[in-house]
Chain A
Amino acid sequence: MGLFTYFVLGLIPLTALWIGLLITGLSILLTPSYAPKRSREISNLMNKLFINITLFLEALRISSYNLFKTHNDEVFIYLSREEIREIPKEAEKQFITYVYGAPLIRLVSPINRDLVKDFTEPCVAIDHILTEYLDIADRVECYDEEDKIMLKIFRPLISSSFKLERSLGGLYGLIAGSVYALLRGDVEISYVETSTDFILIGMRIKK
């Protein structure tokens, strides 16, 4: 085989092919076979934090409705077991308020204006945060239709508990919802589908 390729291709193309194979070999050698270190650290940190939030939400039986709302440069996530139609004034300052007997929880999102100041398109900003800044996904695809948004996040590296996914879409839903709230306005996460290869997040912009 070696002699055949030597006589058919000639010395220079054969040498070039071997150099090409060497470049590919080095590229494979430099490719990590496991999740990046930073992603694993974030994953462990987030999982522990999420367990606490999940237990708290379970205690209050909150897992149905959410609303991502921007106040100044911060994003607040409101969670309730009843549909959130409007946010009472006092809920903007308090951690927990009762609206018609149902508890309304206010969480502060870790995503703020500074992280998205260079972006106008939410999808590009989410892609940047997930693939470049945190390195916890391969890529993001967005589909818009009027007030409905569908996000497909490929190869997510961090998993969240089922309860948290249902309430605010897990870590990816939290990031996506916060970015949309900052760049488009109030948003609600209405659908989350998790698979080993992707996460599908359905959102709705609230008028």
Chain B
Amino acid sequence: MISKDHFSNTLLIIMITLTTWAFWSIGEHRLDVYISMFVLEYLIIKMMLRPRRIFIDILQIGLLIIFLIFVSIRIYEVLIK
């Protein structure tokens, strides 16, 4: 039986591939949209399956910071218009 740790990695790659295909098929050409979606998928999988990590999840922290930067840029763009 596959462990939840390995299952979460498998699910992540499937979701990332499907997201890329879905956004490509609708003609999305903003890189931050793709990455933001990947970050959300990672966080959802982390919350739902709670996979183990060697030590603290630095990837989660890094992705969250990247996500916050993208959101901040979008908010800034809306405000200055």
Contact = CB atoms under 8 A, between A and B. Distances in A.
Interface of A: 9-10, 12-13, 15-17, 19-21, 23-24, 26-28, 30-32, 36, 131-132, 135, 138-139, 154-155, 197-198
Nearest to A197: B1
How large, as a class, is the contact surface on chain B? 20 to 34
B1 A12 contact: no
10 contacts: A12-B28, A13-B23, A16-B35, A19-B31, A23-B12, A24-B16, A27-B8, A27-B51, A32-B5, A131-B50
A33 to B, nearest CB: 9
Nearest to B16: A20
Interface of B: 1, 3-6, 8-9, 12-13, 16-17, 19-20, 23-24, 28-31, 34-35, 38, 42, 50-54, 57-59, 63
Contacts of A132: 50
Contacts of B12: 23-24, 27
